[in-house]
Structure 1
Amino acid sequence: MAFDKKLLDIVACPVCQGKLEFDKEAQTLICKFDKLAYPIDEGIPVLLENRAMPLVPNE
């Protein structure tokens, strides 16, 4: 199931309430401020702080 990009207008980071960005390749929602990635499960964003993955900087 594909992620509906219209959801980006209404969802926010559960930690800082900031704007999230969609990473199509990783199928995650990214909070650049907190450096967290939230998974998308069957087209539904899982916006739980305990399910967030820390972003790893590209080396």
Structure 2
Amino acid sequence: MIAKDVGIDPKMLELLICPLTKGRLVFDADRQELVSEKARLAYPIRDGVPIMLVSEARHIEED
């Protein structure tokens, strides 16, 4: 996880959880998102701020 690329404190990223499942999130540096694999949602990071709203999350399609 390279949190410095988005200007987010790495400690904060460790504390964030998916608001829907309460599960862990994986940082996707390429897309600037926090991914909840369990919920199949990707939460955007805008201007260094994680947007932790289900209504703002992108649905991840099955591969």
TM-score range, shorter chain: 0.7 to 0.9
**How big is the shift at 1:57?**
3.4
Unaligned runs of 5+ in 1: none
CA root-mean-square deviation: 1.4
Aligned-residue identity in percent: 34
TM-score by length of 2: 0.81
Counterpart Cα distance in 1 of 2:25 and 2:10:
11
TM-score by length of 1: 0.85
Secondary structure, counterpart of 1:25 in structure 2: coil
Runs of 4+ residues over 2 Å off in structure 1: 1-6
The number of residues matched between the two structures is 58
Unaligned runs of 5+ in 2: 1-5
